[in-house]
């Protein structure tokens, strides 16, 4: 006999089991979905906070605008991190400091010259609008530390090129000094006229003539020596103006008899920078001496294709240990007057001489009772100038010989 067995499961039973197991199947995915959504919310909130609520397209637009502004401004901008490494460098800063394109990521201290430039850019010198010399440029630097949530994260340095402005400011200062000297000379000449008028009224004509000769001797001597030896009118005007300033400060300034300067000297502005700063420092040195005869002697000559400038003075001289330091940017032995920037004049001289591939020498004559300094600059004729020289005894002897010579002619 053939038989069969049939086994089955009722749909009702399957449905009952399915509904019983459904919570076990759905709870893990639902829990994962809830946790994922909450995590996504927290992540999105954190990202929003870090991006200041900006959307991706807004961030891209902001980045494009920042790049355009950063590289389009005429001020140099440098950003560094807490370790002093460059994180941002615009084109102008790269040009002003002479940095390469791979400077980003490197230490700023390794890339800038040692000295005042490094001290200012790295924050070792406090204060706003610090003037520094980089190559042949005069820059104004400002450094601002950047703090975030009470923690120092770096600094931002801005640079402005004021080379031309600095030259104009120094020329303006010279013009103002000359104007003050001329104003004081106006009063002096008025006083002399009163003396001459009084002598004439008293009938003492010979004494009036002698007084006139004595009063005009130094001015005539300097004017004749400048006109006869200096061919360039700008340099001649500078010498006469500095002589007026020196006279106002009680210092006698002369131009040596053997001086000669060709008319076609080339770049006069650089020569004026060198000569003007040397004379200014010599006058300051002599004027600061207590009592005694103050003398500054300027000598210009062309020897073997070199323009040589000597400025001798009877001042206190220069410490031999400082003969290299005096031409460093920021070095000064003078007290700053108000907000005046000190330590720039001789630095500009040294910069100009180096740019012209010239030479600088400073000599001190310690063999005499009144020590002096003899700074000298040698520069190629187009041009390689300069010297600041101050041997007091020789300078005095030369001036006295010229004085006796002119007095003899007057008689």
Task: Kindly state whether residues 97 and 231 are assigned to the same domain.
Answer: no
What CATH number has the domain bearing residue 138?
A: 3.30.450.20
Residues 145 and 267 placed together within one structural domain of the fold: no
**Burial class of residue 120 in the structure, from the number of CB atoms within 10 Å of its CB (0-12 exposed, 13-18 middle, 19+ buried):** buried
Give domain status of residue 175, yes or no.
Answer: no
Domain of residue 152 covers 64-161
Query: End of a domain among 112, 141, 161?
Result: 161
Q: Please state the φ and ψ torsions of residue 160, each to the nearest 5 degrees.
A: -125, 135
CATH number at residue 257: 3.30.565.10
Cα atoms in the Cβ-side hemisphere of radius 13 Å centred on 408: 6
The C-alpha angle 362, 363, 367, rounded to 5 degrees, equals 160
> pLDDT by residue (tens digit) across 123-139?
888 888 888 888 778 88
Domain presence at residue 23: no
Give the pLDDT of residue 297: 87
Q: Are residues 222 and 340 in the same domain?
A: yes
pTM of the model: 0.56
Q: Is residue 31 domain-resident?
A: no
Residues in the chain: 411
- pLDDT at residue 324, as a whole number: 66
Residues 270 and 405 placed together within one structural domain of the fold: yes
The whole-number pLDDT of residue 95 equals 87
Q: Where are the alpha helices (DSSP H) in 91-232?
A: 91-97, 108-111, 116-121, 163-201, 205-229
pLDDT of residue 333: 58
**Using CA atoms, how far apart are residues 6 and 139, in angstroms rounded to an integer?**
103
Domain end residue (candidates: 113, 134, 161): 161
Asked whether residue 29 is domain-assigned, the answer is no
pLDDT of residue 7: 67
Q: Please check whether residue 297 is in contact with residue 312, taking contact to mean a CB–CB distance below 8 angstroms.
A: yes
Residue 152 lies in a domain: yes
Q: Are residues 251 and 396 in the same domain?
A: yes
> Are 250 and 316 in the same domain?
yes
User: Which parts of the chain have pLDDT scores under 50?
Assistant: 337-340, 366-372, 374, 381-411
Residue 169 placed within a domain: no
Out of 136, 161, 186, pick the residue that ends a domain.
161
Nearest-angstrom CA–CA distance, 314 and 399: 12
- What's residue 186's pLDDT? 75
Number of domains in the chain: 2
Domain-located, residue 403: yes
Same domain membership, residue 248 and residue 388: yes
């Amino acid at each position: 006999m053939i038989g069969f067995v049939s086994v089955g499961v009722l749909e009702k039973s399957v449905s009952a089991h399915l509904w019983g197991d459904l919570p076990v199947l759905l709870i893990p995915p639902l829990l994962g979905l809830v946790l994922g959504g909450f995590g996504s919310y927290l992540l999105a909130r954190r990202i929003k906070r870090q991006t200041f609520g900006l959307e991706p397209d807004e961030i891209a637009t902001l980045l494009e605008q920042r790049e355009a502004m950063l590289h389009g401004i005429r001020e140099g901008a440098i950003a560094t991190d807490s370790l002093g490494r460059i994180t941002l460098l615009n084109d102008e800063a790269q040009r002003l400091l002479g940095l390469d394109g791979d400077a980003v990521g490197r230490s700023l201290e390794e890339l800038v010259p040692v000295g005042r430039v490094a001290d200012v850019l790295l924050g070792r010198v406090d204060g706003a609008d610090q003037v520094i010399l980089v190559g042949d440029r005069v820059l104004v630097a400002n450094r601002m530390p950047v703090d975030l949530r009470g923690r120092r994260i770096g600094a931002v340095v801005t640079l402005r090129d004021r080379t031309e402005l600095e030259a104009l400011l120094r020329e303006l200062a010279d013009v103002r000094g000359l104007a003050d000297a001329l104003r004081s000379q106006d009063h002096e000449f008025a006083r002399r006229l009163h003396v001459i008028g009084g002598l004439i009224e008293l009938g003492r004509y010979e004494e009036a003539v002698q007084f006139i000769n004595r009063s005009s001797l130094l001015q005539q001597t300097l004017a004749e020596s400048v006109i006869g030896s200096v061919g360039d009118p700008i340099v001649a005007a500078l010498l006469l103006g500095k002589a007026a300033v020196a006279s106002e400060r009680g210092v006698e300034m002369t131009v040596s008899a053997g001086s000669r300067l060709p008319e076609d000297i080339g770049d006069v502005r650089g020569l004026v920078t060198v000569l003007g700063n040397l004379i200014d420092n010599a006058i300051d040195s002599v004027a600061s001496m207590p009592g005694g005869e103050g003398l500054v002697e300027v000598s210009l000559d062309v020897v073997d294709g070199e323009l040589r400038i000597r400025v001798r003075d009877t001042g206190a001289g220069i410490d031999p240990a400082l003969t290299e330091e005096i031409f460093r940017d920021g070095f000064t032995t003078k007290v700053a007057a108000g907000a005046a920037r000190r330590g720039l004049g001789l630095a500009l001289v040294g910069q100009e001489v180096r740019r012209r591939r010239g030479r600088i020498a400073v000599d001190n004559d310690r063999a005499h009772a009144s020590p002096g300094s003899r700074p000298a600059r040698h520069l190629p004729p187009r041009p390689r100038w300069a010297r600041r020289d101050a041997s007091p005894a020789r300078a005095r002897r030369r001036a006295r010989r010229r004085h006796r010579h002119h007095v003899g002619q007057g008689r």
